[in-house]
Amino acid sequence: MATVLERVSEFKNEALIDFKDPANKAKMEAALAAVRAGGSATYDLIINGRRVRGAGTFKTSNPAKPSESVGTVQKASPAQAREAVAAAEQAFYSWSKVPAAQRAALLFKAAELTRARRFEFDALLVLEVGKSWGEADGDVAEGIDFLEYYAREMLRLDGPHPVTPVPGEKNAMIYIPLGVGVIIPPWNFAFAIMAGMTSAAIVAGNAVVLKPSSDSPVIAYKFVELLEQAGMPPGVVNLVTGSGSEIGDLLVQHPRVRFISFTGSKEVGLHINQLAATPQAGQIWIKRVVAEMGGKDSIVVAADADLDAAVDGVAASAFGFQGQKCSACSRAIVEAPIYDEFVNRLKKRVATINTGDPADPSVTMGPVINEGSLKKIESYVAEGKKEGTLIAGGERASGEGYYMQPTVIADVKPDAKIAQEEIFGPVLAVIKAKDYDDALRIANNTEYGLTGSVYSQDRSKLERARDEFHVGNLYFNRKCTGAMVGAHPFGGFNMSGTDSKAGGPDYLLLFLQAKSVSEKVG
């Protein structure tokens, strides 16, 4: 008789919506109008399935039009954060005993419901975090992929796993859930990463407290609402919104929290890791931290590269979603013989980027997430003008929102500040390498190790990079962003995190623990 896994179709990535189709364009415009019409709505905390008002409220706004509200959201109190942990612990005792096939079915249903509400989530991403139509839909498609992929992975990991036979014994290894987790996702992939981190934890049998970024809380609320519609029991995912300083540290340090799954900056990730490493009174385990942190990602352009392809790949990687991706190219390392020509072509390519309100489908680059981010980016650009030659951009772009021009600074030294520190905005440093050896040395000279790419038509150079370019996700002759679930398990080395490999066959093991069971027979 076929197993549940054998009856499930093979995983394949979700297709993107073609917005050139007039019908799809009309649906997206209607979704944007509907989300805008709901901007005065108030969103509660969700604790044990109940809607709860917090100690105060805050507004989440459209970064393209900061005067436009996307919703009013609760500020959870410390007491409510503790209540959410207690609710998750209560739910864990029953949810962990639900068969894996039923937990997987919840994710399959959630994927189905997301498809039905796809334009709504696309519109939320445009209005709450400033994504272009294409970037928004890629975010939602990736979220669907995570739901589908992790459901299948849990079915694969379910049940006893064979071990080496021992005469007179019946031995097996099984995977069991960890317990209560805290999920702290970022705003830059406000649907995909949030949904992926949450769904992986719960399909493995854990219960969680989801604390989303204060820049993207409405999207998280809508996802928890969707999980409830898919049949999720109360308490399995509890939503608390508010300040990280007020409730984030409390959740990380809570003695009944078994694991923390975090995606965000290096500084916050290290802080979480440090807090989690200190046992609290009543804590009986070493907490597990799954951390996806920053990057200072490089694209190496060898002297024999297809220059047009390299220029397009660098521009797409550097300025897609305003450079607000941990995988974004922030350093182009170019061999000396083609350096000047590369810079000239890149300057022309960047001039074609259309900056403006991403609610307009013709816009390819929208605002950065908030005023604080914009000021930080401006400070780096000011420093960069001293460290190199400004080729493009360098100023705020016009408009009400938090707009920054796509900025290219050439002739940057490998150890310059803008060549070493994560900026998280549309700023690219171009570095001249003497030769390919020098280019690889520069590519490895940061504290990070997330993504990288090499453009070369020389197979021996690509093979050298495979061995020597120390990043978790390495690409050849293509951009360094756009990892696909299943195809490109995602996670980095060094200060880029714990190499979690999201969207890969190892990921669910981070939310499980192995138990060996042996029985004497005969």
Residue with tokens 């898919």: 230
The continuous run of DSSP H or E covering 453 comes out as strand 451-455
Q: Cβ–Cβ contacts within 10 Å for residue 411, how many?
A: 16
Considering the candidates 14, 83, 120, 326, report the single residue annotated as catalytic: 326
Q: Indicate which residue of 89, 142, 292, 422 is catalytic.
A: 292
Tell me, yes or no, if 326 is annotated catalytic: yes
* Angstrom distances, CA of residue 202 to CA of 227, 332, 384, 472, 490: 11, 39, 44, 26, 20
Token pair in block for residue 358: 């991403």
Q: How far apart are CA 217 and CA 223, in angstroms?
A: 10
Q: What are the residues facing 47 on neighbouring strands? A: 50
Q: In this structure, are residues 6 and 94 in contact, taking their beta carbons and an 8 Å threshold?
A: no
SS3 270: helix
**What angle is formed at CA 348 by the lines to CA 304 and CA 359, rounded to 5 degrees?**
120
Query: What span, in angstroms and rounded, lies between the C-alpha atoms of 322 and 427?
Result: 9
Q: Could you give the CA distance from residue 61 to residue 70 in angstroms, rounded to a whole number?
A: 5
Rounded CA separation 312/328 (Å):
13
Task: Please report where in the chains the tokens 């797409």 appear, as a residue.
Answer: 316
- Residue 116: Cβ-neighbour burial (10 angstroms; 0-12, 13-18, 19+): exposed
In this structure, is the dihedral angle defined by the CA atoms of residues 17, 20, 24 and 29, taken in order, positive or negative?
positive
- The secondary element (H helix, E strand) that includes residue 26 is helix 22-37
Exposed / middle / buried, residue 323 (Cβ in 10 Å: 0-12, 13-18, 19+) = buried
Distances (CA, A) of 158 to 217, 402, 484: 33, 47, 24
Report the C-alpha dihedral over residues 72, 75, 80, 86, rounded to 10 degrees. 70
Is 335 one of the annotated active-site residues of the chain? no
Q: How many CB atoms lie within 10 A of CB 119?
A: 22
Neighbours of 42 (CB within 10 A): 12
Q: Cβ–Cβ contacts within 10 Å for residue 176, how many? A: 12
**CB of 431 within 8 A of CB of 332?**
yes
> Nearest-CA neighbor of 289 among 204, 174, 182?
182
How many angstroms separate the CA atoms of 15 and 20, rounded?
15
Rounded-to-integer distance, Cα 443 and Cα 425, Å = 20
Q: Which of 217, 252, 146 is closest to 507 using CA atoms?
A: 146
Residues labelled catalytic: 292, 326
